Structure 1
Amino acid sequence: MLIRTVLTASALALAAVPVQAQSVEKAPPGGAYKKVSELVKLPDFLPGMGTLYVDPKTLPAGPFLAYDHDSRLASTIYMIPVEDIQGQKKFDNLKTAGGTVDHVDMYYNAGHPGVEKPHYHVVLWHVSKADEARVAK
């Protein structure tokens, strides 16, 4: 119950964070962002998430920028380790790179290349629920 409360509060706080100055609306984003599939053994496009980019210095939490098949930003994703939540680690100044957040989803992941430990995906969608289909397949 505590984890759910912490995650819900974190997601609501993330949704209200202002936009970064750097333009990331189209892939590839500039700056230190790297394509995740070039950093770890993952496909270029992950169904349900899209094509991911991350600044390697921000791992494991991110933000990960997720793009659709047309290279348009669909979401900003944070991957928050369960052990950090249980340890009550503070995550300050988390930003969304894509501007307006339409809605937020959170779900558990047991681990995958790049973020091997169990964690929660906190997905800040920059598109409507209906437009999530842009990254479904």
Structure 2
Amino acid sequence: MNTFKKLTIGLGVAGLLGGLSSQALAHDEEALRQAPPTAPFIKVSDALPLPEFIPGLGTLFVDPDTLPAGPFLAYDREGRLSATVYMTPLAALEEGTAFNDMAVGRHHAESVDIYYNAGHPGVDEPHAHVVLFHDSEAKARLSP
């Protein structure tokens, strides 16, 4: 079990679900448009030793039950949902794991970036970041 999962279980996040599925919340665009999103999403920087705003990704929120892949909801400094991020472990992909029917923060994506990450707190193993930017200005808003 990775560090992020241990921390969030310790915080009792699973009890916050209140019968709502992350799939339903992730497809309710209005509920996610402004930070903070409602439970079961938690702020990543509250659970891990990461900065509140990560240059290029923004302020991240995730439903711990969807780890490690996500979706991570990425908000700009004004609290606007700017991107949906997935962190798919390379080993899982090489073993044939499919990540199907993953939720999105918004149904529109203006552009997509995909890049390698060697690992960081929360997703310790090498993985691919798949970043769906939801409007033409989103990437700039998430920059330093």
Deviation at 1:85, TM superposition (A): 1.0
Deviation at 1:131, TM superposition (A): 3.8
Q: 2:131 aligns with which of 111, 123, 131?
A: 123
Which residue number corresponds to residue 80 of structure 1? 88
Higher relative contact order (CA 8 A, sep 6+): 1
Runs of 4+ in structure 1 deviating by more than 3 angstroms, as ranges, are: none
Q: 1:133 aligns with which of 115, 119, 140?
A: 140
- How many corresponding residue pairs? 118
Is 2:32 the counterpart of 1:63?
Answer: no
Is 2:39 the counterpart of 1:31?
Answer: yes
Q: Secondary structure at the match of 1:120?
A: strand
Deviation at 1:111, TM superposition (A): 0.2
In structure 2, distance between residues paired with 1:131 and 1:79: 19
Is 2:33 the counterpart of 1:21?
Answer: no
Deviation at 1:99, TM superposition (A): 2.4
Identity %: 47
RMSD value, Cα? 1.2
What stretches of structure 2 of length at least 5 have no aligned partner?
Answer: 1-25
Compute the TM-score of the two structures, normalised by the length of structure 1.
0.82
What stretches of structure 1 of length at least 5 have no aligned partner?
Answer: 1-18
In structure 1, distance between residues paired with 2:46 and 2:56: 19
**In structure 2, do the counterparts of structure 1 residues 20 and 131 end up closer, same or farther at CA, with 3 Å as the change threshold?**
closer
